[in-house]
Chains A and B, each alone.
Chain A
Amino acid sequence: MSGTQDRLVYMANQIARNFAVQGEAVAIAATARHILDFWDPRMREAILAGDRAGLSDIAAGAIARLQASP
């Protein structure tokens, strides 16, 4: 994790991985909710604006959901 963006991607993937056992749809919602509840706005803005290539499917789904209704 060399920079903040890398760290945010890592954190999102880590959250997503721990919710994954609940199934993709639930995990995407739970990951988005977790980020909304616990991340400072600048962190959310940074991951929304950043490169999403490193995000897992669930994390990417969560970020997309936040993008749709931040």
Chain B
Amino acid sequence: MGYEPQADFGTPEVRADTQVTLTIDGRSVTVPAGTSVMRAATTSGGAIPSLCATDSLAAFGSCRMCLVEVEGMRGTPASCTTPVAQDMIVRTQTPRLEKLRRGVMELYISDHPLDCLTCSANNDCELQDTAAEVGLRDVRYGYAGAHHLGQQPDLSNPYFLFAPDKCIVCSRCVRACDEVQGTLALSVEGRGFASKISAGQRADDFLSSDCVSCGACVQACPTSALMEKSVKEHGKPERAVITTCAYCGVGCTFRAEMRGEQLVRMVPWKDGKANRGHSCVKGRFAWGYAHHQDRITTPMIRESVDQPWREVSWDEALAFTAGRISAIKAQHGARALGGITSSRCTNEETFLVQKLVRAGFGSNNVDTCARVCHSPTGYGLKTTFGTSAGTQDFDSVMDADVILVIGANPTDAHPVFASRMKRRLRQGAQLIVIDPRRIDLVRSPHVQAAHHLPLQPGTNVAVLTAMAHVIVTEGLADEDFVRDRCDWDEYQDWARFVSDPQHSPEFLEAVTKVPAAELRAAARLYATGGNGAIYYGLGVTEHSQGSSTVMAIANLAMATGNIGRPGVGVNPLRGQNNVQGACDMGSFPHELSGYRHISDGATRTMFEQDWGVALDPEPGLRIPNMLDAAVDGTFKAIYIQGEDILQSDPNTHHVAAGLAAMDCVIVHDLFLNETANYAHVFLPGSTFLEKNGTFTNAERRIQPVRKVMEPANGLEDWQVTQALANALGLGWAYTHPAQILDEIARLTPTFAGVSWDRLEREASLQWPVNDQFPDGAPVMYVDGFVRGKGHFVVTDYVPTDEKTGPRYPLLLTTGRILSQYNVGAQTRRTANTAWHPEDVLEIHPLDAENRGLKEGDWARLASRTGETSLRVSVTDRVAPGVVYTTFHHPETQANVVTTDYSDWATNCPEYKVTAVQVTPSNGPSDWQEDYAGLTARSRRIAAEPAE
């Protein structure tokens, strides 16, 4: 498409059962009751000048540009704040209105620098447009009087600037921060002529304020007062392409606004159903990594990992790789080979990688990063409900009355959805937070949790069982729902189990550390407060009982009837952008696409006939088992697309030992990541801006990813996988991801109705899309569960074997932060480092004082597995006895400390519970210094290019 601003109807859409018909400028217009006159006029093809109105914000009525005349009404009301009425007669253009608007506009312009030709918003400025609309020709007031010209801009934010002399104090930025983002970092300081936009306190600038750099204020600004620095640098975009963000599982859609092949800015797409026109600092601004100097765009190989890399042609790299794989297969068999699909790549790319492993390598040794994040979700929800995904769309939260957040930190990890959630909380929904840390949602501006249960890490199942105890023993279960939708006998077994006095909040308080009365109150609220919706994250899954916790959550939802309608449900907040899709595409070693077991003969036959090859009927190795087998000598080669297991997976020493034991490690990535230290082949990858395909977000929404620039490495990732397959003699001939998607639809019942053409027309589809749900299913299980009756599973609390003791008295839990993403490969190569330049260790003041640690001190963090050093942040966000850090920076390598303990059902690592000791340190550990040396040696590239 060309570059046109997105349509703006002035005020938000209103949904109402009744319609109202009125006359605007002689035209009959019918709109929902409650709609503003402004929106009625603009949706029917008219236009009313305005400055303070935009359809993402509630009407404000301050600029006085949108005045209209209404028959029978005195004066000239603002059309943005005037609701329509039946038979109302409105005139939007009269001599009186023209004069009024021109007079107001003259005042605005009299205090605005007239440097339009050199302004970065030239030809893309609502103030400029509105001046033209109202026919402003003269400004009678000079600059001799008081004015705001010449004020210095605030350049502190790395991505946008604030130029106060361009500001018209329409408050759109303040309202966007309040209503859309929900941070309330901006305000109007002063009164009258002295009014000015202020970030944080008076002494703050944008960077030091509470601003989270989501960009909502920049998007809302009608002038260039708040403007992306990239627009200032590159100029006005000339075209826009709708695509899907490559950060986190929310799956925001953006307009990639371009000049030629130069990406000028990413602007959230207002029609995007996942993000509804909002964004966060990562998706909105942190895309500069695509052009970072660290990017590798030429294939490289080396005989052994102690040699420098040698740049080679694609042909040589692929021939070298295929030769090694074939030799290993001939000597050690197919089961010595495997691969890891990427949750950052498209559905089509992950599908091809698992196809390459199964049909090309000949084994089922394929896994994905969900192994270390949401594999328990797959197991738990498939067991209880029948399929492995969340039950709701994101819009559903707006119908929730009670929101239970457990083991998730949405404001940091899923910020755009968190803003929707906060909007609903400001409307009056109640919040329960179950988390060892006092996350921001517990208490932040205009949000306060009704109950925060700061449980001891590792006791999720005990807490949820205690909640179930309260619900059952106090008669709060929805037995009608259970009798109708679930297996009644299984429910009774479960109810008997949870009713045992040993599962009461009082009995379990010694284990959970949660005050029993608070837990009881939370359970009552969830069961009786109306629509109850559960949102959870990795604080649920990354435990030795991750799968049990997911099933315990499903039990609670079924027992209270909170399934099958808007406002309720069980909602895993997926970590990476396409982790849902990677799981859907058959990335697990025991499952083909659509969650069908490899041992299922009928399913396997369908794939065998389509692919023309026999498949191994046995499940393959999971990632940790691949590493074990490598150390044992039975697993020899791995193809890793877009994952960095050395940094992201637990027990770094064990991962390194596994990788070092392999004969062929193929890393397919944007950068020489940590895993590549042990690689023999590096295949350069492409960014999401350089490829076509689809991502599936946490609400099962399949959305197109569109190429906006040519791949710097010359090939999209699916083309690289295909080239490798063909080097092995597989004869693939896809020419566009649409053909791969057709194959997915052909082989996967839940994707049967999905095609590229349909996504082009409809923008997104939520699986299942098939004969039963031809248009997809925003809310699942409306009429019944996939497996028939909902399955209650008795979940017995089993304490983790990772114990604290005299040597390791503290519990470490890990997580992520707003400005960084996963292992940081992308975000560390952007200006987001302004907010988070290094991993730090959060420690409670009591624990810090006992150890003689002060804010910013270096500390040694040691576990039974390993040790590292990092700086401390002293805070009561964590409870005494608990410490917390992130894993975004390889210099820290937090996973050198985490252990091999994992979920009993899926081997998802127990990242959230590691017994540690923290002691003062004077800098990086010996291991960190040695590792830095290893990395430097490993990244050497031979000076002579390949012939």
Complex contacts, A60 vs chain B, CB 8 Å: none
Asked whether, in the complex, the Cβ of A4 is within 8 Å of the Cβ of B632, the reply is yes
Asked whether, in the complex, the Cβ of A18 is within 8 Å of the Cβ of B618, the reply is no
Interface set, chain B 589-627, CB cutoff 8 A to A:
589-590, 597, 599, 618-622, 625
Complex contacts, B365 vs chain A, CB 8 Å: 40
Partner of A40, one of B335, B597, B631, B904: B335
**A1 touching B900 in the complex, CB below 8 Å, given contacts A39-B619, A40-B619:** yes
Asked whether, in the complex, the Cβ of B618 is within 8 Å of the Cβ of A22, the reply is no
Complex contacts, A20 vs chain B, CB 8 Å: 796
State the Cβ distance, A31 to closest chain B Cβ, in Å: 10
22 contacts across the A-B interface (CB closer than 8 A) = A1-B900, A4-B628, A4-B631, A4-B632, A7-B628, A11-B907, A18-B545, A18-B796, A18-B798, A18-B905, A21-B794, A22-B794, A34-B905, A38-B905, A40-B364, A40-B365, A40-B619, A40-B625, A41-B618, A42-B335, A42-B629, A43-B621
Quick one: closest A residue to B899, CB to CB?
Answer: A1
Alpha-carbon separation in the docked complex, A36 to B845 (Å):
49
Quick one: closest B residue to A20, CB to CB?
Answer: B796
Alpha-carbon separation in the docked complex, A1 to B544 (Å):
15
Partner of A42, one of B497, B590, B634, B907: B634
Chain B 779-801: CB-based contact to A (< 8 A → 1; otherwise 0): 00000000000000011101000
Q: Is A56 an interface residue (CB 8 A)?
A: no
Q: Is A65 an interface residue (CB 8 A)?
A: no
Alpha-carbon separation in the docked complex, A37 to B618 (Å):
8
Ranked 8 nearest A-B pairs via Cβ? A21-B796, A14-B904, A40-B621, A18-B904, A4-B628, A41-B618, A21-B794, A4-B632
Q: Is B548 an interface residue (CB 8 A)?
A: yes
Alpha-carbon separation in the docked complex, A10 to B794 (Å):
22
Alpha-carbon separation in the docked complex, A7 to B901 (Å):
10
Asked whether, in the complex, the Cβ of B798 is within 8 Å of the Cβ of A40, the reply is no
Interface set, chain B 893-907, CB cutoff 8 A to A:
900, 904-907
Interface set, chain B 262-298, CB cutoff 8 A to A:
none
Alpha-carbon separation in the docked complex, A17 to B923 (Å):
42
Q: Is A62 an interface residue (CB 8 A)?
A: no
Partner of B798, one of A1, A17, A42, A43: A17
- Give how many A residues have a beta carbon under 8 Å from the other chain's beta carbons: 19
Complex contacts, A38 vs chain B, CB 8 Å: 590, 619, 622, 905-906
Interface set, chain A 18-70, CB cutoff 8 A to B:
18, 20-22, 34, 37-43
Complex contacts, B634 vs chain A, CB 8 Å: 42
Q: Is A15 an interface residue (CB 8 A)?
A: yes
Alpha-carbon separation in the docked complex, A51 to B632 (Å):
17
Quick one: closest A residue to B631, CB to CB?
Answer: A4
Asked whether, in the complex, the Cβ of B904 is within 8 Å of the Cβ of A15, the reply is yes
Complex contacts, A18 vs chain B, CB 8 Å: 545, 548, 796, 798, 904-905
State the Cβ distance, B618 to closest chain A Cβ, in Å: 5
Alpha-carbon separation in the docked complex, A57 to B564 (Å):
41
Alpha-carbon separation in the docked complex, A41 to B335 (Å):
10
- Give how many B residues have a beta carbon under 8 Å from the other chain's beta carbons: 31
State the Cβ distance, B746 to closest chain A Cβ, in Å: 26
Asked whether, in the complex, the Cβ of A37 is within 8 Å of the Cβ of B597, the reply is yes
Interface set, chain B 547-591, CB cutoff 8 A to A:
548, 589-590
Complex contacts, B904 vs chain A, CB 8 Å: 11, 14-15, 17-18
Residue ranges of B at the interface with A (Cβ–Cβ < 8 Å): 335, 364-365, 497, 544-545, 548, 589-590, 597, 599, 618-622, 625, 628-629, 631-632, 634, 794-796, 798, 900, 904-907
Scoring A7, A20, A42 by chain B CB atoms within 10 A of each residue's CB, the highest score goes to: A42
Quick one: closest A residue to B794, CB to CB?
Answer: A21
Asked whether, in the complex, the Cβ of B905 is within 8 Å of the Cβ of A15, the reply is yes
Alpha-carbon separation in the docked complex, A1 to B905 (Å):
18
State the Cβ distance, A41 to closest chain B Cβ, in Å: 5
Alpha-carbon separation in the docked complex, A40 to B632 (Å):
14
Alpha-carbon separation in the docked complex, A2 to B620 (Å):
23
Quick one: closest B residue to A21, CB to CB?
Answer: B796
Quick one: closest A residue to B796, CB to CB?
Answer: A21
Alpha-carbon separation in the docked complex, A11 to B621 (Å):
14
State the Cβ distance, A58 to closest chain B Cβ, in Å: 13
Complex contacts, A11 vs chain B, CB 8 Å: 904, 907
Complex contacts, B629 vs chain A, CB 8 Å: 4, 40, 42
Quick one: closest B residue to A13, CB to CB?
Answer: B904
Alpha-carbon separation in the docked complex, A64 to B796 (Å):
25
Complex contacts, B364 vs chain A, CB 8 Å: 40
Alpha-carbon separation in the docked complex, A19 to B217 (Å):
52
Quick one: closest B residue to A22, CB to CB?
Answer: B794
Alpha-carbon separation in the docked complex, A21 to B335 (Å):
35
Asked whether, in the complex, the Cβ of A40 is within 8 Å of the Cβ of B545, the reply is no
Complex contacts, B798 vs chain A, CB 8 Å: 17-18
State the Cβ distance, A13 to closest chain B Cβ, in Å: 9
Complex contacts, A1 vs chain B, CB 8 Å: 900
Quick one: closest B residue to A1, CB to CB?
Answer: B900
Complex contacts, B631 vs chain A, CB 8 Å: 4
Scoring B548, B619, B907 by chain A CB atoms within 10 A of each residue's CB, the highest score goes to: B619
Alpha-carbon separation in the docked complex, A4 to B621 (Å):
13
Given contact pairs A7-B628, A21-B794, enumerate 19 new A-B contacts (beta carbons under 8 Å).
A4-B629, A4-B631, A7-B900, A11-B907, A18-B798, A20-B796, A21-B795, A22-B794, A37-B599, A37-B619, A38-B622, A39-B619, A40-B364, A40-B589, A40-B619, A40-B620, A41-B335, A43-B621, A43-B625
Complex contacts, A41 vs chain B, CB 8 Å: 335, 618
Quick one: closest B residue to A40, CB to CB?
Answer: B621
State the Cβ distance, B199 to closest chain A Cβ, in Å: 50
Alpha-carbon separation in the docked complex, A41 to B631 (Å):
17
Quick one: closest B residue to A46, CB to CB?
Answer: B632
Complex contacts, A22 vs chain B, CB 8 Å: 794
State the Cβ distance, A25 to closest chain B Cβ, in Å: 15
Complex contacts, A34 vs chain B, CB 8 Å: 905
Alpha-carbon separation in the docked complex, A4 to B796 (Å):
27
Quick one: closest A residue to B626, CB to CB?
Answer: A40
Complex contacts, B621 vs chain A, CB 8 Å: 40, 43
Alpha-carbon separation in the docked complex, A1 to B628 (Å):
11
**A37 touching B905 in the complex, CB below 8 Å, given contacts A4-B628, A17-B798, A18-B545:** no
Alpha-carbon separation in the docked complex, A33 to B904 (Å):
14
Alpha-carbon separation in the docked complex, A22 to B904 (Å):
16
Quick one: closest B residue to A35, CB to CB?
Answer: B619
Quick one: closest A residue to B616, CB to CB?
Answer: A41
Alpha-carbon separation in the docked complex, A40 to B548 (Å):
22
Quick one: closest B residue to A18, CB to CB?
Answer: B904
Complex contacts, B632 vs chain A, CB 8 Å: 4
Quick one: closest B residue to A44, CB to CB?
Answer: B618
State the Cβ distance, A19 to closest chain B Cβ, in Å: 9
**A40 touching B618 in the complex, CB below 8 Å, given contacts A17-B904, A18-B796, A21-B796:** yes
State the Cβ distance, A52 to closest chain B Cβ, in Å: 19
Quick one: closest A residue to B599, CB to CB?
Answer: A37
Complex contacts, A39 vs chain B, CB 8 Å: 619
Alpha-carbon separation in the docked complex, A7 to B365 (Å):
19
Asked whether, in the complex, the Cβ of A37 is within 8 Å of the Cβ of B590, the reply is yes
Alpha-carbon separation in the docked complex, A57 to B631 (Å):
29
Alpha-carbon separation in the docked complex, A39 to B599 (Å):
12
Alpha-carbon separation in the docked complex, A21 to B551 (Å):
14
Alpha-carbon separation in the docked complex, A6 to B208 (Å):
52
Scoring A15, A22, A39 by chain B CB atoms within 10 A of each residue's CB, the highest score goes to: A39
Complex contacts, A37 vs chain B, CB 8 Å: 590, 597, 599, 619
Alpha-carbon separation in the docked complex, A62 to B621 (Å):
20
State the Cβ distance, A37 to closest chain B Cβ, in Å: 6
Alpha-carbon separation in the docked complex, A53 to B688 (Å):
51
Quick one: closest A residue to B634, CB to CB?
Answer: A42
Complex contacts, A15 vs chain B, CB 8 Å: 904-905
State the Cβ distance, B544 to closest chain A Cβ, in Å: 7
Alpha-carbon separation in the docked complex, A53 to B599 (Å):
30
Scoring A4, A34, A38 by chain B CB atoms within 10 A of each residue's CB, the highest score goes to: A38
